[in-house]
Structure 1
């Protein structure tokens, strides 16, 4: 015990002296601050804006008279990931880095042919836009790629996601819309339209 006291005394003696404040140990508070998921959400509302209160469960779906769940802006995390993966795959097809047949693996078998046909039509249109941009001007070293400007997701019902994508090629803007549904724990595309 005497060795510990000597070691502590020597540590205190070695500490620099001068204008620095002394280090003080304070007791730990009796409770910890709440986690993010435990705290109540803060809702901001302007002072003069009327609140929109939708009656819960008043809408009925056409099948079996069940209450329809409201459409949710945004989507669940796994749905967002699947939608972004599909958009990335479509952009690679439109830019000519992949064949349109690669869209088949992310589509339902019944709708796969239509999804691939839409992807192929979009790739042809992107190629035509690139060729039209090179006419009358000196060709660029690299063609202008198709890029995503914005991706908007909506979940009309659990297990289904609809997306609207704004694309740009050079100075031309176009759109793509698709729907994905959850089948056997996998998100699959059921419809694709490139405008």
Structure 2
């Protein structure tokens, strides 16, 4: 049995070859055996009568229960969202993007403040570049704003705070921001440049 069928080429067209289907195909969904994870000793969960326990009211003269400690660091999603937002802020500060691009990554209630802070930072960087002269001459290519260090903290699930050290030329800047998770997307609620 031949594995290919060849047709004679006509003109500038190549020959057509039909090849057989490989013998090892993945099974169809209806051919798969179901995976059972339950063991013989596992108890079934009854979800119909599930009640969420409420904290008991504190009696007078007693202290409320202590809150769980804040863990340094952040989840992977939060880290990715912060890095994306910081990258966008650096592009705004360097003049590669308009400050209005920060609006789409901010909460609607805080978007005006976030954009205003990004615009003020971009103006400060532009003024710094205009006044910085080396040997009486302005440098050909000004030093871009770059990230020196990024520190993250997730004080509660769904909220992440970051402190960023930025550098441009010989000047060091600090940026603080807060992102919160709303409807499956991270949005900025605060941005400060120092």
Q: How would you bin the TM-score normalised by the shorter chain?
A: 0.5 to 0.7
Deviation of 1:110 after TM superposition, in Å, equals: 0.4
The runs of 5 or more residues in structure 1 that have no matched partner are 1-59
**CA–CA separation in structure 2 for the residues paired with 1:67 and 1:180:** 25
Q: Output one character per residue of 1:48-73: Cα deviation in whole Å (capped at 9) or x when no partner.
A: xxxxxxxxxxxx9xxxx675332121
CA contact (8 A) 1:151 1:163 kept: yes
2:47 is matched with none
SS at match of 2:132: helix
CA displacement, residues 89-131 of structure 1 (integer Å, 9 cap, x when unaligned): 0000000000000000100000000000000000001111111
Equivalent position SS for 2:97? coil
Q: Which has the higher helix share?
A: 1
Q: Is the 8 A contact 1:69 1:157 kept in 2?
A: no
Measured after TM superposition, the shift of residue 137 of structure 1 is: 2.5
Give 1:134 shift.
2.4
TM-score by length of 1: 0.65
- C-alpha distance in 2 between matches for 1:139 and 1:151: 30
Distance 1:114 1:187 in 2: 17
**Where do residues 1-195 of structure 1 align in structure 2 (5 Å cutoff)?**
67-134=66-133, 137-195=136-194
**CA distance in 1: counterparts of 2:78 and 2:90, whole angstroms:** 18
Change beyond 3 A, Cα 1:111–1:66: farther
TM-score by length of 2: 0.65
The alignment partner of 1:86 has SS state of helix
Q: Is the 8 A contact 1:149 1:166 kept in 2?
A: yes
Q: Distance in 1 between matches of 2:96 and 2:170?
A: 21
Unmatched tracts of structure 2, length 5 or more: 1-57, 59-63
Number of equivalent positions = 132
Change (3 A) 1:181 1:67: farther
Q: Structure 2: how far apart are the matches of 1:133 and 1:82?
A: 33
Runs of 4 or more above 6 Å deviation: none
The structure-2 alpha-carbon separation of the partners of 1:124 and 1:135, relative to structure 1 and needing over 3 Å to count, comes to farther
